[in-house]
Amino acid sequence: MRYLILLVTVLFLTSCEGPQERVFPKISSLTESVYASATIQPDSLYRVYAAVGGILDQNLVEEGDLVQPGTPLMQIINKTPKLNTENAKLALQLAEENYNGSAALLKDLEEQIQAASLNFRNDSINFFRQKRLWDQQIGSKTELDNRQLAYELSLNNRNILKSRYARTKNELKTQLQQASNNYEAARINSKDFTVSSKINGKVYALFKEPGEVVSILEPLAVVGSASVFVIEMLVDEMDIVKLTLGQKALISLDAYPSQVFTATVTKIYPRKDERSQTFTVEATFNDPPKTLYPGLAGEGNIIIAEKENALTIPKTYLTDGNKVHTPDGVLEVTLGLQNLERVEILAGINEETELLKPKQ
């Protein structure tokens, strides 16, 4: 009785398996691609940081505003730098007046030199006149010596004043340059308290409200291109070696579920993200959607090879990587291009070879 039950069970299971699935290879076009997750980001996107710490006085723009290079984005409280700038400006003005001679310092020295020159000329005339008389044995030696001493003193005094004038003018010139440098440094320091845009673009985010503390380590805003967007794709490290610049990519976005957009690979970042074990690849739309926002997500397929009239079979009919089952036994095949569903057969079988689907 037990043997009868076992036999019935085997026959029942055999009858339930049904015929084995069969297929013939077929000629078709085949595209091999690399899958990647995709995210849309504005071109030239960057986080805005302050060069100094302090308290945010006010945001000068709103999210969504268009900006240009130099457009003020936010103002940090800067009373001390402003006072320093004003003091430096006053010091610069004083140094300019001293150097240009409108102040009394150089003008007084010029007058002293002029008086010393006149005195020297008079003493020179008297000395050489007395010397000619002495050469003619007229006059006394004492009078000649007095004239000579007065001449030499006048010459020395004039030279000292000229030297002092040159030295003073050089010192004033140096002071002017130092005052100019101090004023420029104060202006730059004051300018640091006004955070400005570096590019033509749009303000996508503001992170601080007036009254909050500003740190040089925390971003204050996000600014990027208003019209040009890039596609950031994360590619598995097993596939990155297959990619090159200029390859075509097919992009589908969750925001446009019924459309597929074409793009071109423009940049491959060489550094791998150790956490996700992926590489970042950038692409640009050939014909972008009408409306895009930062962070839109989707999928990308980067085409690495295309072939017409390829002999293909379903990938589910492969076993051990490169073998297929036929009514005559197991055969080895040479593989070519492949995608998620089908694989190209280069050698081993033809269109007339009947294939059996391997049992699970």
- Distances 240 to 165, 280, 339 between C-alpha atoms, Å: 74, 9, 16
Q: Which amino acid is at 175?
A: Q
Tokens of 226: 């208003």
User: Alpha carbon of 32 to those of 197, 307, 327, 351: distances in Å?
Assistant: 43, 9, 30, 21
pLDDT of residue 360: 66
pLDDT at 168: 74
Tokens at 332, concatenated: 């080895």
CA distance 81 to 77: 9
Report the SS3 class of residue 99: helix
What is the overall mean pLDDT for the chain? 82
Q: Looking at residue 14, what is its pLDDT?
A: 41
> What pLDDT score was predicted for residue 106?
67
Q: Which of these, 224, 207, 226, 202, lies nearest to 50 by C-alpha position?
A: 207
| Sign of the torsion angle spanned by Cα atoms 194, 198, 203, 208 | negative
DSSP state letters, 23-45: E--EEEEEEEEEEEEEEEEETT-
CA of residue 152 relative to chain centroid, distance: 70
pTM for the whole structure: 0.57
pLDDT at 186: 61
Mean pLDDT by 10 residues, the chain (360 residues): 41 49 85 92 94 88 94 81 63 68 65 82 80 78 79 83 78 74 64 85 94 92 94 94 94 93 95 93 94 93 86 86 86 82 85 83
Q: At what angle do helices 141-191 and 104-135 cross, to 10 degrees?
A: 160
